[in-house]
Structure 1
Amino acid sequence: MSKPETRIQQRNRAAILSAGLEIFSQYGLRGSTLDQIAESAGLSKPNLLYYFRSKDAIYTALLERLLDTWLDPLEKMDPNGDPIQEILAYVHRKLAMSKDYPRESRLFANEILQGAPHIADHLSQDLRQLVDEKAVVIKEWEAAGKIAPVDPYHLVFSIWAMTQHYADFDVQVRAVLGETDPFDGAMTYLDTLFRRMLTPKADV
């Protein structure tokens, strides 16, 4: 049985993960180095290697922690709730993640762009199973006439694309908007967009 970490060890491990997140989200796994991470964490490279045996180990630890966070907003969609409100609440949660966790979003995007070598199994198993479950719920809402006809998978994809864009393309968004906070108007726009799309015609 391993000894619990001291406060200093916990602090150093957290500093390494935070530094790794910052470096990986900017340069990706291939473009990052242990020296960069160690410098950002304020530790020596040998000290860093005491906690993580390699750059890959830091990256994997970050992705494993991120996956739980990434699945949570969709898991919270309640089959027994008001359909449109539940979907809009999911949009809200995803946009909030882009605002509060932009580095994590970019880390995830970089992994996907590289072919998801570290999380391919999670995507084809955990993520797919969750999306399949919610797709059934969305189709049941549609069959009951509670939402307009919609492909549930492409609905989820569009929510991902429209919310994660604000984190993954932050520089581009802010270059166009200047000093305006993009999140001020994003939720109003997305709320209107998805509400109009999902509301049955008879209710419009």
Structure 2
Amino acid sequence: MSELKLKVCGMRDPENIQGLLDLKPDFIGFIFYSKSPRFVSEIDEDFIMRIPLSIRKVGVFVNETIERIVALADQYGLKYIQLHGDEDLSFANTLKERGLKIIKVFRVMDAIPFYAKNYKGIADYFLFDTASINYGGSGRHFDWNILNNYNLDIPFLLSGGVQLKDIENIKMMNIPQLAGIDVNSRFEIEPGLKDLDKLRELKAAL
């Protein structure tokens, strides 16, 4: 299995972001959802635009309008849009047609939704997170054995309470479409502030 990609989500503190950039994650996520404790209400636009292109910037949205997503993508140079709400196929396709890459989130309970197959040609990645009453951030696993039945061509990121101790088991999964992991709350000092030492260990383990 090739090296897993690392997506670190829920960033907003410039100094913390700068420290993360030194670790060279594959993706860095900014949450533009006002009900999240990691909501990016405002952040230095010039600083965000100077993030190296090799680290792909992801805007995380929950039931937002097309117009606002596109505006924020332009403002901050977001290349990927993570749809974490109840957005439908047409919504995702409209963003795709605007030149944005799509990470479609599925909140998994006991099966991967059958309609995921409809996102072929639209979603660049899926992200499988644990179903909860909120939109992510539960810090809990779903039953990863479900993924053994995954038979679509779309690569996916694994989320939902991923910890350092899980990496060995994740790397043993014989699932070619497993592209990487998405981490957030399990690597935080407080909401929106990551523990860079823990992330350094994680990056080395991948």
Query: What's the TM-score, normalizing by structure 1?
Result: 0.26
Query: What's the TM-score, normalizing by structure 2?
Result: 0.26
More strand by share: 2
More helix by share: 1
Larger Rg: 1
